[in-house]
Structures are given as C-alpha cells and as structure tokens.
C-alpha cells in the first residue's frame, strides 16, 4: 500500500501516527511494542513528532522497546550515528526506560558486533523467533534499505538475522538487519521523501523485480506500506 502526502511534514505526521497506532495495538495484544528504527535523515521529523503532544502522551513508553534496522560503526556521539539522531529527536525527550533502548553497538569488530546483536535479539524474543511489530525503513538512491547495500553480500544473506556490511568507499562498517528478519515483521513502513528519490522509487515500485535490495522487502505474514511525499513521486526530470 502506498500513501502519497503533500509534503514531508504531512508524511512525518502520518508516520508518527502509524507508530503510535501500532504501539497501542501491540501493547494491547502482547503487552509490549518492539520497533526497529530507520537511520538516515528522513525519519528525523517523524521522531520529532513522536516526542510532541498529542502523540507522545498516547504512546505507552513504559512498554516500548526500541531497536535499530541498521547502524554505522562510529562512536555514539558521531553525527553519522543513527542512534545519536534518534536520541536527539526522540529518545532523550520521552519517558522510555533506558533498558528498553537496545542500541546496535558496533565495535572495531563488526563481525562480532553483528553476532552480539543477533544474540541479543534471539534472547529478547525467546522462546519465539525474533519478530518486530514495526520496522521503519528508508530508501537510498541506489535502492538500498537499512544497510542492505547493492554490491555487498548483505542483501543476499538468508541465514543470519544481523550482518556486518562494508559499503565501498566508506571508512566505517555498518550493521544491518537482514531481509529474512525484516520480512518477519508484522508491519514494515518505508518513509521516502524528496525529488532525489523519485527515480529510484519509480524503479523499485514499477521496474523489474530483484533489481534492488529494497525490493527484497515483502513481509511474509505482515503488512508493507510506503509513505511517500509528492516530491518523491514526481516524474524524475
């Protein structure tokens, strides 16, 4: 399902409302809400909206558990850190217990860090398999999502739940949830904004399948929604 909004502000409000609705549903059904946040810049406004009334007061923060879809292996105070952005925009502004924020800490050994985060997920969700109530994702201009980067082994990973990723040209590694884990989610929501994403959005939506990592995202027993603004749907010039 694709929803088109007039601008990024409307998109962000809708995404924040979706987060709040899914949180209330999950807590009512299972006593907790497990969500994996997206990184990058698009979701910042959504996170900001979640920290403001009325949504902030509607969300049962004491039963919310925060995870990440991916993270860059940089210090926590590095401007490139996805966790830092989420803390600035949201997590430092709402009454969520610190123990319920499950950061994707990545040390100098991304391989070991990936294994550690996978173990954290498996322990958290046991005896069930890891399954998020909601995963927020962005879309890169090369068709990546989370850190499933084209040209790396990450998009093809079918066994591991969390994988290390080395994007060519970057002087830092990344960790990413893999497609099999993302596709276990009850709901996956892509947030896509701006004219720079118009071409890739059209290619991902209407082009040949299995061209881009973002096309791997198809929840097996869940919902997929695309929240996009008009600028991201204009015919690319």
Would you tell me which residues interact with ligand 6PG (CB under 6 A)? 38-42, 70, 72, 82, 138-140, 144-147
d(CA 224, CA 57): 26
C-alpha pair distances (Å), 218 with each of 25, 221, 224: 21, 9, 7
Pick the closer one to ligand 6PG by CB: 140 or 155. 140
Of the pair 150, 180, the CB lying nearest ligand 6PG is at 150
| Beta-ladder partners of 112 | none
Full strand arrangement of the beta sheet holding 64-68: 2-5, 223-229, 187-192, 134-137, 33-37, 64-68
Give the strand order in the sheet containing 70-72: 70-72, 174-177, 162-165
CA distance 22 to 28: 10
Of 20 and 37, CB closest to ligand 6PG: 37
Q: Which is nearer to ligand 6PG, 20 or 217 (CB)?
A: 217
As measured in angstroms, the least distance from the Cβ of 172 to ligand 6PG is 11
Quote the least distance from Cβ 82 to ligand 6PG, whole Å: 5
């Amino acid at each position: 399902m694709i929803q088109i909004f007039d601008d990024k502000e409307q998109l962000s409000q809708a995404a924040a409302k979706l987060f709040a609705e899914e949180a209330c549903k999950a807590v009512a059904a299972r006593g907790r809400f497990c969500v994996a946040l997206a990184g990058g810049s698009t979701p910042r406004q959504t996170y900001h909206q979640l920290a403001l009334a009325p949504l902030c007061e509607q969300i049962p923060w004491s039963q919310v558990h925060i995870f990440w879809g991916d993270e860059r292996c940089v210090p926590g105070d590095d401007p490139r850190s996805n966790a830092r952005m989420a803390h600035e925009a949201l997590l430092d502004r709402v009454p969520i217990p610190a123990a319920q924020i499950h950061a994707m800490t990545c040390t100098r050994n991304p391989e070991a860090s990936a294994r550690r985060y996978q173990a954290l997920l498996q322990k958290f969700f046991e005896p069930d398999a890891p399954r998020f109530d909601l995963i927020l994702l962005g879309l890169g201009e090369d068709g990546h999502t989370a850190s499933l980067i084209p040209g790396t082994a990450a998009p093809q990973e079918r066994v591991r739940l969390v994988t290390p990723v080395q994007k060519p040209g970057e002087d830092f590694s990344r960790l990413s949830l893999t497609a099999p884990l993302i596709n276990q989610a009850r709901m996956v929501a892509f947030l896509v904004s701006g004219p720079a994403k118009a071409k890739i959005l059209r290619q991902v939506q209407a082009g040949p399948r299995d061209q881009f990592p973002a096309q791997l995202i198809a929840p097996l027993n869940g919902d997929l929604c695309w929240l996009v603004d008009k600028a991201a749907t204009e015919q690319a010039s």
